[in-house]
Structure 1
Amino acid sequence: MFAALKRLNIYQKEMYPIISRLLLGYLVFGEIYFIILLNHGIIDVKFGIQELVCGFTVFSFLFWLRIADDFKDYELDCRLFKERPLPSGRVTKKDLGIFITILIAITLVLNFIYMNNFLFCVLLYTYGSFMAVWFFQKHKIAKSLPLALVTHNPVQIFINLYIVSFTVIKYQLPFFDLTNMLALLTLYFPALIWEVSRKIKAPEEETEYVTYSKLFGYKKAVNFVFIVTWIDIFTNFALVWNLNKWSVLALLLNVLWCSWKFVEFKKNPTKYKIVTKVEMYTYIQESLMILTIILYIIMHR
């Protein structure tokens, strides 16, 4: 047992650092939760165990997806990423299988006992389960990077829906309104941007690993990311407009900086990895969203 725990500790350090990912889970939850409440004029937040369970569920679900991806890509990783914990044998499939079964069970029990949106939790894990088995179409999806993107990337919307449903049910808000619809998308586009950009490489850096730049050319792939980035920023503009107009300006400056990096990459794709600039853009963007929430709460107390 101690040996298995030691192997799991190696895995979490290299593939899913628990502390930082737990913080990420609560940041994802907090951003959507407070954006909805503040846009509906609710300042008196009733924070309790439900909020703790909601943030933990985001963390737990993303942990499961990380492990499911390692299972799905095991054969490829054994060829291209032999140093990773699972392909290298430093952790076993049995270790991860037992761990994730326990984690999922704990998450579902907590949701059943404490949450008001258990059906949405079941919906989230149902979609995740279909992802884990390639929607029973592995022979088609595994061979097509665009098809994998279309079927798998919407999982962020299901995570958002889980958070939105909890929030609107608890505070008796209308389910279908513009704020909630935008909240469903607010973290979906960054996930889409990151997923595509991490598979864009300069021509001389391509390997047997399939990338969007190999399929469509790096310029067309960057153009797609550019367009989605601007769609993403307009959803953020709409969500913070009533909270702090200065945040809109800060978000605009951030997206202009990122857009310039796209232009530079198209001119010289060996200058840097485009995903590093996308990650910086996302960190700044989400930090500005969180800062907007904090400032609004402070100013209206």
Structure 2
Amino acid sequence: MTINDPKDLVGVSSRPARIWRYLLVMFPPHIMGLSGIVKFYAVYFCLQALASDESVHITLNSMFGAFSIVLFSLLLRVYDELKDAKADIRLGRAGDPRYMDRPIVTGAVTIEDLVVLRWVTTALLIVINVPLSGWPLIGFAVLFLVTWLSFKWFFWPAISRHLLLAFVTHNPITLFFGGYIVAVYAGDYGVHHIDAWALVLLLAFWAPLGAWETSRKIRAPEDETEYETYSQIFGWKLAPFVPIAFIILGTTCMILLSSQIGLNWVLPAVVVVASLVPVSRCIAFRVSPSQKTAHIQPFVELYAVAMDLGLLVTLLVSRGLDLSRFPAL
């Protein structure tokens, strides 16, 4: 079942049906689930490849970890929906095209529905992670605390009113997602197998998200509204260079990782080519700002997919997958 128009949700009376159809619009399980799993194993396998020349393995803990990354992504989505509900509804009713069709604006989903979804997701995360103990449990506790603090605006209300403060305090949460994956790896292989290259990996993991976040809040001067954007803060001439900086960081980290692991030239080449697509789009906006050229976000998303999927596929092809540790289910 697919939902093409959020307005199709209006009039659904059953809470489970409303939540499910809301997910299809705002957090498509088939897309976000696969994305989370790919991202988890790209990092998890890379940590293995940095530590040894052997084939990569899948463990039971890693399967729980991959599912947890998907659930944490959903929890953040719900947190953002709840804490921004009033502002999103105001912007949507004011005619902002990026908000007027959102389910929370159209009334297709209620605050109460989202609260239920929040607690169901939280319960699943606790049930999955508490039995893991050791480093995975520590990683879970830290990530859960950080995401909860973000839901509370880190008890600093001014963050909600300033885009740069929100970015500095919220976007690096992605690094804690990566830290959780490192913790799951440490639980499986030991913390002594982790060195400074893990930090380079976390930066490569985070940079595309920084590019995505900044690229989606750039608008041409005539399209600006009361909604704060990076093009308002930095000016439209400078704003497109912010996602470019993140893309350069991510691409550089991936090239360094590829060299350290001993991979061939294919992955660096793919990443460089993929990076040129959003970079060229950013330059196009700088040359000729318009609603069309401001549409940078999808091209950054393609770059992020190339980074995650490219690393995962390259590691599987070059190292091979040893299923001897795969749990018998």
Q: Deviations over 1:132-172 (max 9, x none)?
A: 0101111x111110000000011100000000111133112
Q: Counterparts of 1:47-196 in structure 2 under 5 Å?
A: 47-80=58-91, 81-114=99-132, 116=134, 117-138=136-157, 140-174=158-192, 176-196=194-214
Which deviates the most, 111-120 or 170-179?
170-179
The one-letter code matched in structure 2 to 1:98 is: V
Q: Aligned residue for 1:248?
A: 268
Counting matched residue pairs gives 300
| 1:21 to partner: Cα distance | 1.3
Q: In 1, are the aligned partners of 2:57 and 2:322 still within 8 Å (CA)?
A: no
The one-letter code matched in structure 2 to 1:193 is: A
Q: In 2, are the aligned partners of 1:50 and 1:115 still within 8 Å (CA)?
A: no
Which residues of structure 1 form unaligned runs of 5+? none
Q: In 2, are the aligned partners of 1:112 and 1:118 still within 8 Å (CA)?
A: yes
Which residues of structure 2 form unaligned runs of 5+? 1-12, 92-98, 324-329
Query: Which secondary structure does the structure 1 equivalent of 2:289 belong to?
Result: coil
| 1:298 to partner: Cα distance | 3.8
Structure 1: distance between partners of 2:321 and 2:63: 25
Structure 1: distance between partners of 2:105 and 2:156: 24
**TM-score, structure 1 length as denominator?**
0.92
Structure 1: distance between partners of 2:202 and 2:117: 30
Query: Which secondary structure does the structure 2 equivalent of 1:83 belong to?
Result: coil
Query: Which secondary structure does the structure 1 equivalent of 2:217 belong to?
Result: coil
The one-letter code matched in structure 2 to 1:245 is: W
Q: Aligned residue for 1:286?
A: 308
Structure 2: distance between partners of 1:82 and 1:290: 37
The one-letter code matched in structure 1 to 2:271 is: L
The one-letter code matched in structure 2 to 1:285 is: M
Q: In 1, are the aligned partners of 2:219 and 2:229 still within 8 Å (CA)?
A: yes
Query: Which secondary structure does the structure 1 equivalent of 2:192 belong to?
Result: coil
| 1:85 to partner: Cα distance | 1.6
Q: Counterparts of 1:192-231 in structure 2 under 5 Å?
A: 192-231=210-249
Q: In 2, are the aligned partners of 1:200 and 1:213 still within 8 Å (CA)?
A: yes
Give the CA RMSD over aligned residues: 2.2
Structure 2: distance between partners of 1:112 and 1:125: 12
| 1:299 to partner: Cα distance | 10
Moved over 6 A (4+): none
Q: In 1, are the aligned partners of 2:270 and 2:306 still within 8 Å (CA)?
A: no
| 1:79 to partner: Cα distance | 2.0
Structure 1: distance between partners of 2:321 and 2:24: 39
Alignment match of 1:9 (pick from 6, 20, 24): 20
Q: In 1, are the aligned partners of 2:244 and 2:279 still within 8 Å (CA)?
A: yes
Which deviates the most, 229-238 or 82-91?
82-91
Q: Aligned residue for 2:47?
A: 36
Q: In 2, are the aligned partners of 1:12 and 1:18 still within 8 Å (CA)?
A: yes
1:275 equivalent to 2:297? Answer yes
Q: In 2, are the aligned partners of 1:32 and 1:183 still within 8 Å (CA)?
A: yes
| 1:255 to partner: Cα distance | 2.4
Q: In 2, are the aligned partners of 1:10 and 1:85 still within 8 Å (CA)?
A: no
Query: Which secondary structure does the structure 1 equivalent of 2:239 belong to?
Result: helix
Query: Which secondary structure does the structure 2 equivalent of 1:220 belong to?
Result: coil
The one-letter code matched in structure 1 to 2:232 is: K
Q: In 2, are the aligned partners of 1:10 and 1:90 still within 8 Å (CA)?
A: no
Structure 2: distance between partners of 1:161 and 1:13: 28
Q: Deviations over 1:55-97 (max 9, x none)?
A: 1111111111111111111111112224322232222222221
